[in-house]
Amino acid sequence: MTNSGNFFSRRLFLGGLLAGPASAALGAPLERSLVPRPRPQQGDHIADAAQLLERAGLSGKVAFAIADLGTGALLETHRPELGLPPASVAKSVTALYALDALGPEYRFTTRLIATGPIAGGRLEGDLVLVGGGDPTLDTDQLGDLAAQLRANGVVEVAGRFLYHAGALPMVPAIDPDQPPQVGYNPALSGLNLNFNRVHFEWRRASDGYAVTMDARARRHSPAVGVARMLVVDRTTPVYTYASKGGIDEWTVARGALGAEGARWLPVRRPALYCAEVFQTLARAQGIALGAPEVLKGSAEAFQIGRIDSAPLSEILHDMLKYSTNVTAEVVGLAATIARGGQPQSLAQSGQAMTEWMASRMGAPKARFVDHSGLGEASRLSPLDLVRTLAIAAPEGQLRPLLKEVPLRDGSGRPLPEHPVEVVAKTGTLNFVSALAGYIGRPGGRQMAFAIFSADEERRARIRPEEMERPPGGRAWLTRARMLQHDLLRRWAGTYA
């Protein structure tokens, strides 16, 4: 049943969510009990929410809530306390979690350090590549770091080439239940490169297929040895993966390739991948390095090169725009560590964010098993998320990071001249769809909303070979998104 006229307690900031630890605590709840604007009458020609739910014909469960940011009053809800998988909408919570712990100006740093002096162009010691966890580091930036090494007078390294990735725990995969070949589910470490993906490209040749595996960026695309691909004669499965001798060994079915194509595959040894690519880029600068080795323990050293990431606020903007899982997991892990945690897994860090959500946002029923929303065991209710969005609204840190979502007419066509604006984060898994953010007229009433849909029974029945394209998944997602836009259009006409 769809309800109107409910209210919730809204916490207020003392000194701002992103202030220092001494002033970042949230104040006591402020109870609101204001009468919401009534629903439109039948003559207003705006379908009520119950009609929209019935018309959508969506299998599974639907829950939503919308609240007035000025009063804290819930304007309209449907099963608002039902916890459902948030999918990538979880990244909006992760953004707030990271901003609270790290601050908007925080930068990740990747460094080169030397354990000995430089004399006559020769580094009399070891060269160490030290990762700070930067989720946005790419091959071109590594090329710039290699150029810094040469610019600092190094043409030869007498010692070993080492790498250190201990800033973050090693995570073999974000969600082990995903298909092995999906590029959005790689490993994580304190050294990450190209969102921990390798570029696989193929082209039919006279004797089979010409295949390349490289660390592609705009300026540099060095071949890699940490991942290999073999084309085999079979129909299914399309891809197989195995770890052999420290190498990611892939096979692909010949019949699935066609004449030519390319895709990104996940990397399972991101630190070694990054070190290997740097070794190649240093060689292009005329600097021969030994085979990469893991730094064990610590070393007395001085810095001879560094690459800093963009500020965290920019990283989070791109994370929310492109829904990059690696970024979400890295910033979530970094936030947990900054708050004094020592997570050894995403589940442990997700639990830390769960506890933060309960204490800071008054959401004790929320549960996170990671920071990206890829893990289907995470649970979040529309009420808890709307409350969180309302708490964050006065500080204004999250709203500019969200993506503009155009309102659409009943046929799905955008309404570019509509006076009501929507900024939000989308979330999609197989038979899971979510949308949450802010809606309102500039200079007028502003509201926070969250819409969750999930058919967990159909999701549970998906066979492993169907996970990339499950039967009926696209049609279900289309209906879920149509319902979201119908609700937004209703709320724009009724409350904004």
pLDDT of 14 reads: 27
**Which tokens belong to 393?**
């609204």
pLDDT of 163 reads: 98
Q: Name the stretches of the chain with pLDDT < 50.
A: 1-44
Between CA 402 and CA 413, with CA 408 as vertex, the angle to 5 degrees is 120
Q: What is the pTM of this model?
A: 0.90
pLDDT digits (tens, 9 = 90+) for 457-493: 999 999 988 888 999 999 999 999 999 999 999 999 9
Candidates 397, 392, 364; CA nearest to 450 is: 392
pLDDT of 402 reads: 97
Torsion of CA 366, 369, 370, 376, to 10 degrees: -90
C-beta separation of 353 from 97 below 8 A: yes
Q: Exposed e or buried b for every residue in 362-372, given b needs 16+ CB within 10 A?
A: bbeebbbbbbb
pLDDT of 411 reads: 82
Backbone phi and psi for residue 402, each to the nearest 5 degrees, phi listed first: -80, 160
pLDDT of 45 reads: 57
Between CA 133 and CA 143, with CA 137 as vertex, the angle to 5 degrees is 130
